[in-house]
Amino acid sequence: MIDRNLPPVPRLGRHPSRWRLAGTPVITVMLGSTLTMLPVIAQSPVMPPFGLLILLAWRLLRPELWRVWIGLPLGLFDDMMSGQPIGSAMFLWTMMLIGIDAIEHRLVWRSYRQDWLIATMAIIFCLAGGVFFARITGGGSVKLLLVAPQMLWTILLFPFVVRQCARIDRWRVMA
Amino acid sequence: MARPPSRRPGHNRKAQYSLFASYVVAMAGAAIGLLLVVVAMFDPTGFAAIRTGTAELTRPLSTGMKRMVGGVSSIDEVLAAYWQAGSQNVGLRRQVEADRNRIIEAKGIAQENARLKKLLKLVDEDSSALLSARLISSSASSARRFARLNAGNWQGVRPGMPVRAAEGLIGRVHTTTPNTAEVLLLTDTSNIVPVRRANDNVPAISTGGGDGSLEIRALAAGRNPFKPGDLLVTSGIGGIYQPNIPVAVVVRTQGEIAYGVPLANPTKVDAVVVERAFEQVVTRPDPGAATNSDPNGLAAGNAATP
């Protein structure tokens, strides 16, 4: 009798397809960016940048998955979905990934808390950079305080998103 | 957990080059991204055409979901209406009695208005409304305040057209794609609207606060003339918005700045109306007639007309 509640394991001699291995993370990040199409007319920046959160989660969960240039196409897609000027997330996400690469070499011991700390710094960098870009591209006097609540709950949401990514990752590597 | 295995490829030349190339590509791409932002500094709508594909693709989904949530978003109002229904009913009935007299007065004034306009030989047909559409999504995660409209270039929507609801002003069209348009909401920090106080024409400038509020600065120097409860309408100066669209109500004042709340809430309005830009509507052969009707609004609108 096969227990249906057991977690899936790869069957002997079977491997997940290349599309599933490489495509799943990319698609989840793009879906995260696409959440801005929800029919909510926001009066202030309330929605956490889910694309960024999921990218960070995959990057910290699976450091070997992507090269740093992955920030370019995913950032461009995020720029198309969010109201930020085109090029803003392209630049910020790539710089963030390069920064994480640089930090990772210097950390001797890393655990969940260090990951959260890295993600916190990355989120603050990207949101503050986004405000700066919005300001210089004709956004008027956008204050940094405006995105402070958004920063806070994006940081608090990170552990949850990592959990979900880990769950998807388990499905991804099991054929 | 110890740190993940080093990504340094050791002595493998090919792997070394590949890693180096990935950094070169990333840096070059980041530089291109920065360049695009710099271009957007001088031409904010320049690369908006890149958004056409995603905007068009997500439009049907957003529209479908908007239909579904339409009923859900007003459920709080429905529930709140049951709260204290009896006393509210009595209060509303008194309100209706009081309003009836005012309506009769207003009808009289409207008739008198029509008569006076005939005397002035002023034909004032309202040809400004272009179409009505729905706001289907917004830039919820960005610091800018854009909403996406369910109508675009093919429906005749052009950048710069004002967008309003029955309750008041919503914003103006920023960019368009064939079937969608981005509306710069009234509360965006870059949206500046010339307004005046409804009862005594004190001119002011309204700037969005980015958080759902408006900052209102009086044009005249000196003491802040606004007090909580003041109603603000567009003045028509600048040639985009026609005069007398309700904009906001002042809720508090602080030094030189008065803070207001928009009268039309984009989350609650059912449909919005896209209007032609004011200066296109008022291009009349005889500028003298236009100046007579509304000295502070139309004159400026005409002056802006080429």
Give tens-digit pLDDT for B84-102.
Answer: 788 888 888 888 988 888 8
Tokens linked to B168: 């008041």
Count of domains observed in chain A: 1
User: Looking at the domain assignment, is residue A1 inside a domain?
Assistant: no
Average pLDDT of B37-61? 81
Across A2-6, A122-126, B111-115, B302-306, the highest mean pLDDT is recorded for: A122-126
Residue A12 forms part of a structural domain: no
CA–CA dist B245, B46 (Å, integer): 30
Span A94-103, average pLDDT: 92
B176 and B154 in contact (C-beta within 8 Å)? no
Buried b (16+ CB within 10 A) or exposed e, B207-224: bbbbbbbbbbebeeeeeb
CA distance A114 to A158: 13
- Per-residue pLDDT of B110-126, as tens digits, reads 888 888 877 776 555 56
Judge whether B169 lies within some domain. Answer: yes
B264 lies in which domain range?
A: 129-304
- The interface pTM score, or ipTM, of the predicted complex is 0.82
Q: Does residue A29 carry a pLDDT above 70?
A: yes
What domain count does chain B have?
A: 1
Let me know: does B201 contact B190? Beta carbons within 8 Å: no
Which chain A positions have a beta carbon within 8 Å of B48's beta carbon? Answer: 86
Question: Exposed e or buried b for every residue in B130-163, given b needs 16+ CB within 10 A?
Answer: beebbbbbbbbbbbbbbbbbbbbbebebebebbb
Report the distance separating Cα A138 and Cα A135, nearest Å: 6
Residue B44 belongs to a domain: no
Q: How many CB atoms lie within 10 A of CB A132?
A: 17
**Cβ contact B210:B188 at 8 Å:** yes
pTM above 0.95, yes or no: no
Q: Which of A99, A63, A93, A95 is nearest to A78 (CA)?
A: A93
Which residue range is the domain that position A122 belongs to? 18-35+49-173
CATH number of the domain bearing residue B151: 2.40.10.340
- Whether the CB-CB separation of A72 and B26 falls below 8 Å is answered with yes
Residue B7 belongs to some domain of the structure: no
For an interface test with B, give the residue of A37, A84, A101, A123 to mutate (most B CBs within 10 A): A37
Residue range A131-140: average pLDDT? 86
**Integer angstrom CA distances of residue A169 from A16, A22, A66, A157, B244:** 12, 11, 14, 18, 57
Confidence of residue A111 (pLDDT cuts 50, 70, 90): confident
Work out the minimum CA distance from B75 to partner chain A, whole angstroms: 15
Amino acid at B73: S
Decide if B195 contacts B245 (C-beta within 8 A). no
What average pLDDT does range A122-126 have in this prediction? 95
pLDDT classification of B41: cutoffs 50, 70, 90: confident
**Residue B292 pLDDT > 50, yes or no?**
no
Domain membership of residue A59 (yes or no) is yes
Number of Cβ within a 10 Å radius of residue B49: 11
Query: Residue A10 falls within a domain, yes or no?
Result: no
pLDDT at res. B125: 55
- CA B250 to chain A, closest CA, distance in angstroms equals 17
Which of A123-137, B47-61, B226-240 has the least mean pLDDT?
Answer: B47-61
- Asked if the Cβ–Cβ distance from A48 to B141 is below 8 Å, we say yes
Inter-chain touch B142–A98, beta carbons under 8 Å:
no
Residue A9 in domain: no
| Averaged pLDDT for residues B57-81 | 73
Q: Say if CB A119 and CB A104 are below 8 A apart.
A: no
Dihedral (CA of A130, A132, A138, A143) sign: positive
Residues from chain A that touch B39, judged by Cβ atoms under 8 A, are 87
- Residue A76 reports pLDDT greater than 60: yes
Closest CA to A88 of B45, B40, B41, B37: B37
Whether A40 is in a domain gets the answer: no
